[in-house]
Amino acid sequence: MKTAFRQLSALARLSLLELWRRHEVFAFMLLALALVVPLALARPFGASGASRYLDEVALLLVWAFSLSISLGAGSRLFPPEFESRTALPLFSRPLSRGRILVGKYLGGVLASWSALLFFYALFAASVALRGGAAATAAMFQAVLLHLLFAALAVALALLMSLVLSRGAALAFSGTLLAGMFFFGRDLPRYAEGAAAPVGWILRVIYAVAPHAEFFDMRQRLVHGWGAVDAAVVAAVAGYALVYAAVLLLLAKWALERRRV
Amino acid sequence: MTAAIELEGVTRAFGAVKAVDSLSLRVGRGTIFGFLGVNGAGKTTTIKMVLGLDRPTSGRIAVMGGDPADPATRRHIGYMPEIANYYPYLNAFELMDFYGGLCGLDRRTVRARAAELLERVGLAHAAKRPLRTYSKGMLQRAGIAQALLSDPELLVLDEPFTGLDPLARVGFRELLRELRDRGRTIFFSSHELGETELLCDGIAIMKAGRCVRQGAVKDLAGDGEGNLERLFLRVLASEGEEAGR
């Protein structure tokens, strides 16, 4: 047990160090400072409608930045190991590939969570400075669901990076998640209106693709609609955990077949 | 006592190409064994199978009496790859910390071992510098240190002398002899016939996936500097002629 913990924490620490020592994450943080804070702080002409609109844009930027970081972190966990051949000393250690996968995944998730929490802290601080209520139950739920979504996004990018090139994995995962985020809830309606083959494809996508839109609580935060029922949050959390677990099982299968 | 490494009729085929063909090999414990051959002879493929990174198409491999695909068997193995690429954003201490964690060692043990080994390979002064600033020889020395971190019973080294300056080579040779004297087994592939002759108790010469000579150095090459090189060239030439007939 102790050995497993040491191995997992060593792998997770490596992924965290990699993310924080690469400069691209700081670019996102600077962008967040430059864009999210002014948007969340602004109260144009004292109009609450305009202020809500700016909050929505600020939260959309938080989603965009955190998705970029999650996908970047997930897709970078294994390809550089194979490209630079560090996979050889890594896989020759006394641990299974499954455990390597879990350790690296945990590191990727922790790395993207740390960036995500930074973005939400910036947003909440800006809203509080403006005189708004930031530490609400809805905000807590929004952050929790966003963290779960980030864990799912890392798992998807990880799996894709094991079966596609890193660039293709990023493009596929990004397009799928962004597509579902914006159009997921409308897919059944599109499917009904579409001709047979397209309609079928849309129905399959709706059934299989990860429902990013389930995790989106921006409207509730912006309009102050309050928290959702705890059972709904629990169901979405269960969905995220099961979905991520399935992706990781598939990734384990791919990694075990991968030649070093 | 079982051998450190035992291969029986091991074949590794990639489609129609046999990278390793019916290889049988026995490396006794507490010896230094040189695994020789030109490029593409099947040395690295064999090493990967010994490390459990690849499976033979047919045949049997036992390492320290166990299956190398089993992580428990790999607990006894230290490995240094041919190309010394490590995580460029880590420093040598962090690299040791990482690999120590993977071996299941506690951090206090890792830190003590890391300090001792980095001192031994001459990297103590650069231990806090990122690996991306290291020269090829320094990376090679970091590779030696990480391979020894868990004090393994079997050390598998792929081209360990590449990139080392003459002084570092002497130090490394002494280190390997010292490890053998402590009962450790060292199995290395190399193109450096001079180093192999100076160090090894046993050798195997590979050509096109097949083992063409195997035995004790003094039996195969006799006593005298440069004999192994002559043997190596003679063996490869004669095997070439036989193949041509």
Give yes or no: residues B165 and B237 share one domain.
yes
Please check the confidence at residue B226 and state whether its pLDDT lies above 80: no
Domains in chain B, number: 2
Give yes or no: residues B169 and B227 share one domain.
yes
Residue ending a domain, among B150, B173, B191, is B150
pTM metric for this prediction: 0.91
Residue B190 · residue B41 · CB < 8 Å: no
Residue ending a domain, among B135, B150, B165, is B150
Question: The domain containing residue B128 runs over which residues?
Answer: 85-150
Facing B101 at nearest CB: one of A9, A84, A88: A9
From the centroid of its chain, how far is CA A74? 9
Q: Which of B51, B76, B102 to mutate against chain A (most A CBs within 10 Å)?
A: B102
Dist. CA A202–CA A191, nearest whole Å: 6
Mean pLDDT of the region A117-132: 86
Residue ending a domain, among B95, B115, B150, is B150
Please check the confidence at residue A13 and state whether its pLDDT lies above 90: yes
Residue B16 sits in a domain whose CATH number is 3.40.50.300
Residues 194-223 of B with CB under 8 A from A: none
Dist. CA A100–CA A110, nearest whole Å: 15
From the centroid of its chain, how far is CA B217? 17
Give yes or no: residues B32 and B68 share one domain.
yes
Give yes or no: residues B223 and B196 share one domain.
yes
Q: Which of A32-41, A201-210, B120-129 has the lowest mean pLDDT?
A: A32-41
Give yes or no: residues B92 and B160 share one domain.
no
Q: What is the pLDDT of residues A232-243, one digit of tens each?
A: 999 999 999 999
Give yes or no: residues B197 and B121 share one domain.
no
Distances A69 to A72, A243, A246 between C-alpha atoms, Å? 5, 20, 22
Answer yes or no: do A94 and B105 touch at CB < 8 A.
Answer: no
Dist. CA A116–CA A143, nearest whole Å: 9
DSSP A1: -
Q: Give the pLDDT score at B244.
A: 45
B145 Cβ under 8 Å from any chain A Cβ: no
Q: Which of A92, A95, A258 to mutate against chain B (most B CBs within 10 Å)?
A: A92
Give yes or no: residues B168 and B56 share one domain.
yes
A13 Cβ under 8 Å from any chain B Cβ: yes
From the centroid of its chain, how far is CA A159? 14
Give yes or no: residues B57 and B156 share one domain.
yes
Complex ipTM value: 0.90
The burial class, CB within 10 Å (0-12 / 13-18 / 19+), for B63 is: buried
Q: Give the pLDDT score at A247.
A: 98
Give yes or no: residues B180 and B133 share one domain.
no
Give yes or no: residues B119 and B160 share one domain.
no
Give yes or no: residues B185 and B144 share one domain.
no
Facing A85 at nearest CB: one of B85, B94, B103: B85
Give yes or no: residues B226 and B162 share one domain.
yes
Q: Give the pLDDT score at B243.
A: 47
